[in-house]
Structure 1
Amino acid sequence: MTYIIEKQLLTINQKTLISKSFVIAHESGNANNTGSLSLENEIAYMKRMAQKNGSFTSHWVGGGGRIIQIAQTGKVQYGAGKNANPHAYAQVELARTSNTVWFKKDYLAYVWLLKKLAKEAGVPNSLNTGTTLASKGIKTHHWISNNLGGTTHTDPDAYLMQNGISLTQFAHDLSTTTQQEVLSPSSPTQPNHLYHIVVKGDSLWSIAKKYHTTLTWLKTINLLSSETILIGQKLIISTNFSNLAPLSQFAIIKTFQKTLGIKQDGLFGPVTKQSLICLVQKTIGSKPDGYWGPESASKMRILKNGFFGWDVYVVQAFLIGNYHLKLGPPDKQYGPKTTEAVKQFQLNFGLLADGITGPKTCQKLFS
C-alpha cells in the first residue's frame, strides 16, 4: 500500500544537517488528546510552537492512517534534543487515539513512512541498533535519550506497548519487505498483556516487587505521572507474555549495574558501557581503560555456544543494552538464547549471522 503525504509546510528557515544518520520515531505523549481531531490538534499546536522557535518535527501520523508533513526533511528539526537533531534526516510523530481501529491504521502508516524515510536518507531500516552517532538507522526517541543524551523522553515505547506492539514487534515490522507482512496473523495484533487488578493494601512498589519489575517500568507502560493507584485499577505488568512477566530493560540493566558496583539507574549510558568494557578487559588481561581498541580485541577469545565466563556476561549485557531482552539477566552462559540474540544483532549490522562473537561482532557491539 502507498500512502499520500499531505503537505502543510511551515514557512520557517531550517538549518543544514551535519549528517543524515537517523530517522527518529516519536509519539505525542499527550494522553488528553486522543479524540477524532487529535492529529489536527497536535499539528496546530506544533505549528504555533515552531513559529515561536520551539520544537517541531517533519511529519505527523494519525487520524486513521493520515500522514502530514509540516517541515522539510534533510534539514534540522527540533524534536529530539541538541545531540540528535543535527543528525536526523526526518522525525515522525504519532498522534494518539482511543480508537483501536484507527490505531491499527495509524501504525501501518507510521511503519510505512519510517521505512520510506530511511530509504530516502540512505540508512538501514533496522530499529535501535548500536549505541553511538555512527549507528545509523531508525531510532526511537527513547534510544536517543539512553545513548546520546540531550533529552529525557522515552517515547514511543509505552504508547505502542499499550496497543499490543512491543519493541521487538516494531523492529520486526520495520524490517519486513512488504506492507502485508506488518501485523501479520503470526504476529500479535491485539494486546496480549499480563495485568494486575489493584486490591486493598497494594502499592505500586509492592506490585513491582511481586512481578520482579520496577516502579519506573510500571509508570512508563501505564503512563502514570505518580505512584498513586486506585482499588480496582487495571495495571499492565508486561506485554506479549507467556506465563511469567519478563523483566524490563530497566530492571535487567540494574542487575548488572549492581554487579558492576555502579549507580543503579537502569539506563545503558556511558558509565555502564565503560564499566562493562573494563570488566571484560580485566578478564582477558588487557588494560582496563573502558575503551575497546586493538589491544583488547587481540586478547578477546572468540565466543560461541557452550562457552562460560565474564566475557560472555559482558556480551550479554551489551546485547540487553541493544534491546535483545529475551536473554533475561546476564548469566555468563553462552547458550541458545545468547546465540540467537547475537545472530539478530549481526543481521542488524550486516554481519555474517553465525551467532559467534568474533572480532567484527565485538567491534560493533562495544563501539
Structure 2
Amino acid sequence: MGYSINKTFALSGNEGDGRTAVKRFIIAHDTGNDNNKGKGSAHNEASYMKSHFEAAYTHFIVDDQAIYQVGEPGYVAWGALDANPYAPMQVELAHVDSQARFNESYKRYIWLLRYYANKYNIPLTLDAGGQGTPGIKSHKWVTKNFGGDHVDPYGYLSKWGISKAQFAKDLKNGLDGVSTPTTSNKPEYYKTKGLYEVTVKQVNAYKDIKAQQKRSVRLTKGSRFYAKPKKYGKIYRFKTAVGYITANKSYVKFIKAVK
C-alpha cells in the first residue's frame, strides 16, 4: 500500500523558493514540538508552516493521520540552512502521544523518504559520507557537515524504540505491509477544462499543437490560466491565449474546474 498527499497547506506559486534543488540529499527531520502531539498534529504544524514559510519550511509534515505537503518537491525549501540547495525533499515527522500513533506515523515517514529517494535516484543510505555524498540525511548529519545545532530526528525516534541502525535498515528495505515505492517515467496529463497553475520555473508556448513552432512567450512559475486540454496523439496540450503549452501534470497543477 502507498499513501496519498494532502495539499491543503501547499505553498502557492508566488510563495517559497523558486530555485530547482540539486538532487543530492533527502533530509529527515522531526518537528521537536511536544506541545502539539494530539490528533491533528501534522495538520496544525503544516498550517503554521504555511503561515510562516518566510521563516522556515520543509516539503512535507507527516503523522498517523496524513502526509501534508507545504513546499513543492524538487525545489529548494528552507529547513536545513546551507544544505537546502541540495535537497529536493525534506520531511518533518510530527510528534504524537502514543506508540500506536507513532508506529503509523513512522510507516508514512519511511514510505515518503523512500518514495522520493527513488524518484530522484538518491541512494537509500543514511548519513553516509560528507557534503558530496548523495543519500538520505538526518538533520543531525546536516549540522555536522554544514553547521547549525539541530540533532533530529534521532532523539524522537529513540523515544519510541527506533535506533539509528533500525532507521537505516528500514530506509534500505522498507516496512512490512507498505509497498516498495516506485515511480514511472510515463507522463500523466490533465484532461479537464479548468484553471491551472505553472509549477516549474517556466514552460514554453508554441504556435501549433505539434509544438514545432516555439513562441518567444514563456509562462513562469505561478502563472495561472484557463484552458481545456486538447489531445494530440497520446498526449494533451492546453490551448491558451499565448499559444499551446503542455498539459503534463509534472509542469502544471489543477486549481479548479470551470464550465
Q: Write the distance in 2 (CA, Å) between the matches of 1:22 and 1:84.
A: 8
The aligned counterpart of 2:140 is 142
Given residue 10 of structure 1, which amino acid in structure 2 is its aligned partner? Answer: L
Instruction: Confirm whether residue 49 of structure 1 aligns to residue 47 of structure 2.
Output: no
Instruction: Confirm whether residue 174 of structure 1 aligns to residue 182 of structure 2.
Output: no
Quick one: which of 148, 151, 157 aligns to 2:154?
A: 157
The aligned counterpart of 1:97 is 96
Q: Provide the secondary structure at the position in 2 that maps to 1:84.
A: helix
Which structure is higher in helix share?
Answer: 1
Given residue 168 of structure 1, which amino acid in structure 2 is its aligned partner? Answer: A
Deviations 1:200-222, CA, capped at 9 Å, x for gaps: xxxxxxxxxxxxxxxxxxxxxxx
Q: Write the distance in 2 (CA, Å) between the matches of 1:34 and 1:68.
A: 16
Q: Write the distance in 1 (CA, Å) between the matches of 2:112 and 2:129.
A: 22
Q: Write the distance in 1 (CA, Å) between the matches of 2:143 and 2:161.
A: 23
The aligned counterpart of 1:280 is none
Q: Write the distance in 2 (CA, Å) between the matches of 1:18 and 1:3.
A: 24
CA contact (8 A) 1:173 1:181 kept: no
Deviations 1:83-111, CA, capped at 9 Å, x for gaps: 10011010000100012111000001100
Q: Write the distance in 2 (CA, Å) between the matches of 1:18 and 1:101.
A: 35
Displacement after TM superposition at 1:16 (Å): 1.4
Displacement after TM superposition at 1:17 (Å): 3.4
**Number of residue pairs matched by the alignment:** 175
Given residue 73 of structure 1, which amino acid in structure 2 is its aligned partner? Answer: P
The aligned counterpart of 2:43 is 40
The aligned counterpart of 1:365 is none
Q: Provide the secondary structure at the position in 1 that maps to 2:58.
A: coil
Which structure is higher in strand share?
Answer: 2
Change (3 A) 1:59 1:110: same
Change (3 A) 1:88 1:19: same
Q: Write the distance in 1 (CA, Å) between the matches of 2:46 and 2:114.
A: 22
The aligned counterpart of 1:86 is 85
Given residue 45 of structure 2, which amino acid in structure 1 is its aligned partner? Answer: E
In structure 1, list runs of 5 or more residues that go unmatched. Answer: 183-367
Question: How do 1:229-240 and structure 2 match up within 5 A?
Answer: none
Change (3 A) 1:13 1:96: closer
Change (3 A) 1:129 1:71: same
Displacement after TM superposition at 1:142 (Å): 0.5
Higher CA-based Rg: 1
Give me the TM-score of the superposition, normalised by structure 2. Answer: 0.65
Given residue 172 of structure 2, which amino acid in structure 1 is its aligned partner? Answer: S
Change (3 A) 1:66 1:144: same
CA contact (8 A) 2:42 2:68 kept: no
**CA RMSD between the two structures:** 1.5
The aligned counterpart of 2:34 is 31
In structure 2, list runs of 5 or more residues that go unmatched. Answer: 179-259
Deviations 1:148-182, CA, capped at 9 Å, x for gaps: 21x21111010000000001000000000x53188
Instruction: Confirm whether residue 5 of structure 1 aligns to residue 44 of structure 2.
Output: no
Q: Provide the secondary structure at the position in 1 that maps to 2:30.
A: coil
The sequence identity of aligned pairs, in percent, is 39
Deviations 1:237-270, CA, capped at 9 Å, x for gaps: xxxxxxxxxxxxxxxxxxxxxxxxxxxxxxxxxx
The aligned counterpart of 2:106 is 107
Displacement after TM superposition at 1:38 (Å): 1.4
Give me the TM-score of the superposition, normalised by structure 1. Answer: 0.46
Displacement after TM superposition at 1:65 (Å): 4.7
Q: Which has the higher contact order (CA 8 A, sep 6+)?
A: 2
